[in-house]
Amino acid sequence: MADMKSIFDLSNDVLSEILKRTIENSVYDFMQIRETCKIFYEAAKDEYIFATMSLHNYGCMPWKIEAKKLLEKALMANNPQALYREGMLKCFCHVNYDVDRGVRLLRAMSDRGVTEATYALGLQLICIESRASEGYRVLQDLDAIYFEEGFDVITRCRRVTSRMIADIWTTSQLEPLKRVYCPCIDDPDRCSYCFWNYEAEYLADLLERRNYGPLPIS
């Protein structure tokens, strides 16, 4: 095995991975490490970092300029989590509101396996009269994941959604449709239709509450 003497012996792939893990935790650490030497400075330009990095430590509407720039770069690199965040803004932010674009983005990310995008997409669609049946079909996909993985998947979707909405200053409103009679007699534990309607009411309430103050982050 060849002797590893210095940072100059590391391959570009390894350098990119180091930078990716750094920026996932802190954009400021990334900026610092990038300035330490030319080799890191050059490696930090690798689009792979922005296309594949996890954005779990970042919301959808950061206040700090550095985080904002990072999200823009990730968006340009087609990072699925950045595109999900953009979809959330288009659907639920009053200032960025463009529900058709938001739905398209959330659908594309749902197709790429971002479960939280499936959740937001389905709930948004079942609140639009002309697209409600499309929304229930989307949510059937989530039902299938839920039956396989358990309720944790719903808890995670709620937590991530809440985290995104907490970031939005002025939210748009969601108006769940009037519910039709259901033979389950309102039993959301056993009925997908009633469950998702309650979930849409929960999301509508979250959006409403955000306009009156900060949301607790869980």
C-alpha pair distances (Å), 192 with each of 90, 102, 113: 27, 24, 21
Q: What residue has token string 């358990």?
A: 150
Identify which of residues 14 and 184 has a Cβ nearer to Zn ion in the complex.
184
Residue 51 binding Zn ion, by CB under 5 A? no
Chosen residue from 51, 108, 132, 191 binding Zn ion by CB under 5 A: 191
Identify which of residues 8 and 181 has a Cβ nearer to Zn ion in the complex.
181
Chosen residue from 194, 201, 204, 215 binding Zn ion by CB under 5 A: 194
The whole-angstrom distance between residue 62's C-alpha and the CA centroid of its chain comes to: 13
Identify which of residues 97 and 193 has a Cβ nearer to Zn ion in the complex.
193
Distance from C-alpha of 209 to C-alpha of 150, rounded to nearest angstrom: 28
- 126-155 footprint of Zn ion as x/- string (CB under 5 A): ------------------------------
CA angle in degrees (0–180, nearest 5) for 65-56-58: 15
Identify which of residues 13 and 187 has a Cβ nearer to Zn ion in the complex.
187
Identify which of residues 38 and 190 has a Cβ nearer to Zn ion in the complex.
190
Q: How many residues of this chain bind Zn ion (CB under 5 A)?
A: 5
Question: At its nearest, how many Å lie between Zn ion and the CB of residue 61?
Answer: 35
Stretch binding Zn ion (CB under 5 A), from 15-23, 65-73, 154-162, 188-196: 188-196
Phi, psi of 171 (to 5 degrees): -90, 155
Identify which of residues 48 and 193 has a Cβ nearer to Zn ion in the complex.
193
Q: Which two tokens stand for residue 213?
A: 């103050």
Reduced to 3 states, what is the DSSP secondary structure of residue 3? coil
Q: Do residues 198 and 126 lie in contact, with contact meaning Cβ atoms separated by under 8 Å? A: no
Chosen residue from 14, 95, 177, 184 binding Zn ion by CB under 5 A: 184
Q: Do residues 206 and 98 lie in contact, with contact meaning Cβ atoms separated by under 8 Å? A: no
DSSP state of 213: S
Q: Which two tokens stand for residue 111?
A: 């197709």
Residue 182 binding Zn ion, by CB under 5 A? yes
Site for Zn ion in 67-86 (CB under 5 A): none
The whole-angstrom distance between residue 153's C-alpha and the CA centroid of its chain comes to: 14
Distance from C-alpha of 216 to C-alpha of 210, rounded to nearest angstrom: 10
Question: At its nearest, how many Å lie between Zn ion and the CB of residue 198?
Answer: 10
Question: At its nearest, how many Å lie between Zn ion and the CB of residue 73?
Answer: 45
Question: At its nearest, how many Å lie between Zn ion and the CB of residue 133?
Answer: 16
Q: Which residues here bind Zn ion, judged by CB under 5 A?
A: 182, 184, 191, 193-194
